[in-house]
Amino acid sequence: MHFIPRHRRTFATLLALPLIAAGVCTLGSTAAQAQEDNISAPPPLQFPTLPGPNPTGSFGLGSLRSALEQGGNTELCKILTKQVNPNAVFPPNFTFAQCDPAIAAKVNSRSGSVRWASGARPRECGNCVGRPSNTRTQALDRPNRRFATVHARLTFTVVDAGPTPFDRDVIFPVDVNFECRVAGAQKRGEIQVTSVVGQPFADEPGFGESVADFLLGPLNISRSIENGIRTALGGGGSTPGPNLGPCTSIGARLDQSPAFDSFVWDIPGSQTLPPITTTHALPGSEATVVFDSIVRKPTIESQPPTGPFQFVLFVNGNTALIPRIGTVALPPGGRHDQRYCKTITVANAEALQILVTDGVGGAAWSQFPRGVDFGNGPSRTITTGRQFFQAPNPIPGAPTPPGGGKPQSFFAREFEVRYHVVFSPGVVAQPTTTGGGPLAGTHPPLGGGVSTTTGTGSPPPPACIKI
């Protein structure tokens, strides 16, 4: 019986949840505690942080409404142009400003056979554009990130020119996401914007299919919206999403008037943070995670996958592989005793997050804040988990249902990874300024100045294969 791995949520699977939920330690929260051996979606990494009190980067919802409208106008222009000239070709970065004046007049006056619905232009509508919110990705098998989003809808009216003319509305759902895209375990990134336009639906069942030839599709509308945002910011180019400059944070800011809501971020170097202190934690600028062994625990699965396997690990977003090259065969009950280690810089880190994925759909994570020395010292375990399905065991004397019966769902806690953390004492050297929200008041303050304090700490890590 083959297993079916648990569904892996990716960046496309977004859940608008508060960044700090009850019982969840997020990097940058005010009541962080160590968490061990979790199989839920890990909390977002520290960088990008939430914006500080005076963010220096901003994009208002008024500008976003204009970009949404320009994106819709551009697609209406294309549709009406195709009705006149089916062979018309548009350049990749075609905008409404390039529309033929006669066609543009039809778009502006709502006189075309496909038009904005009454009161539906983004700059005139009320709740067709929501309020921005902070959210996060919900991946189980990779580090998660913060971003900010807004939900909107674009509503067009299509005129049926048949014997008995009537109009129907076609609605496109839209999500616009602002992200500070930080590569790997870096502390600064670039603002990127993506618009996700969903499949259209109509106000009458089945009518959407009848107008499919009129509508050029969600992907084209998405590109037009992103071009509109890029134009609003004075940028250019033909990249899929606009690049709005450097950042260390991302978030949504709500105004007393929704018209003045905005996406905000900190530009690197715009804030100075207090010097690091060692009152509640060992000094040091590096932490080493030593992976001592891997044991595959037997489960009730009748035919478990046999491998060979390669484990992918993330230490504060830094990727590591076990084994570094090749794979390892690990049958149920088997043990792999080779020792591996991963050293990362924690000079500006508030917490140490360790995420283990096992190559067959399972994952688990642990996270330790600076206040507990990033978990320094004792031996610990992480055991990956995954969901699988198999037919039920036959009941003696009972007839076997066709196909063996309805598959049943089980959960396997399978690969037990034993590890320990060495928080190496040493000189802590920090830049005098950094971007992003202030980290003071969460764990011991981090950031500017130079501290030369050293501690006694733990012994150096044992011999291991560096990954």
pLDDT tens digits for range 366-382: 999 988 889 999 999 99
pLDDT of residue 114: 86
Which tops the pLDDT comparison, 389 or 87? Answer: 87
Is 130 a residue whose pLDDT tops 90?
yes
Domain boundaries, the chain: 57-265, 273-394+404-466
- Residue-wise pLDDT for 168-222, tens only, equals 888 888 999 999 988 877 788 898 888 888 877 776 655 555 455 455 556 667 7
Q: Distance between CA atoms of 289 and 423, rounded to whole angstroms?
A: 9
pLDDT mean across residues, the chain? 76
pLDDT of residue 206: 52
- pLDDT tier for residue 40 given thresholds of 50, 70 and 90: very high
Which two tokens mark 328? 């390892």
For the chain, give percent helix, strand, coil, nearest 5: 15, 35, 50
Q: Kindly list the distances between the CA atom of residue 233 and the CA atoms of 67, 274, 286, 366, in Å, as whole numbers in the listed order.
A: 10, 33, 40, 40
Which letter does DSSP use for residue 376 in this model? B
- pLDDT tier for residue 31 given thresholds of 50, 70 and 90: very low
Contact 254, 261 (CB under 8 A): yes
Closest among 353, 317, 275 to 189, alpha carbons compared: 317
Residue ranges of the alpha helices (H) in 99-251?
101-109, 207-210, 218-232
Q: Distance between CA atoms of 297 and 258, rounded to whole angstroms?
A: 54
Which tops the pLDDT comparison, 360 or 281? Answer: 360
Closest among 201, 220, 214 to 153, alpha carbons compared: 201
Which tops the pLDDT comparison, 63 or 461? Answer: 63
Q: Kindly list the distances between the CA atom of residue 250 and the CA atoms of 247, 264, 347, in Å, as whole numbers in the listed order.
A: 8, 6, 22
Which two tokens mark 14? 């977004």
For residue 218, whether the previous peptide bond is cis, meaning omega lies within 30 degrees of 0, is no
- Residue-wise pLDDT for 287-330, tens only, equals 999 999 999 998 877 778 877 889 999 999 999 999 988 888 88
CB atoms within 10 A of CB 318: 16
- pLDDT tier for residue 42 given thresholds of 50, 70 and 90: very high
By mean pLDDT, which of 24-33, 264-273, 350-359, 426-435 is the weakest? 426-435
pLDDT of residue 22: 29
Which residue reads 């018209």 in tokens?
A: 259
Output the pTM of the full model.
0.73
Residue ranges of the alpha helices (H) in 5-141?
61-84, 101-109
pLDDT of residue 458: 47
Q: Distance between CA atoms of 209 and 216, rounded to whole angstroms?
A: 13
pLDDT of residue 159: 79
Residues 6+ apart with CB under 8 A from 165: 159
Task: State which amino acid sits at residue 463.
Answer: A
Which tops the pLDDT comparison, 312 or 20? Answer: 312
Which tops the pLDDT comparison, 446 or 403? Answer: 403
Is 163 a residue whose pLDDT tops 90?
no
Closest among 423, 420, 419 to 460, alpha carbons compared: 423
What is the second-level CATH architecture of the domain 273-394+404-466? Answer: Sandwich (2.60)
- Residue-wise pLDDT for 403-421, tens only, equals 556 777 777 899 999 999 9
pLDDT of residue 38: 93
Is 439 a residue whose pLDDT tops 80?
no
Give me the percent of the chain exceeding a pLDDT of 70.
Answer: 69
Give the SS3 label for residue 44. Answer: strand
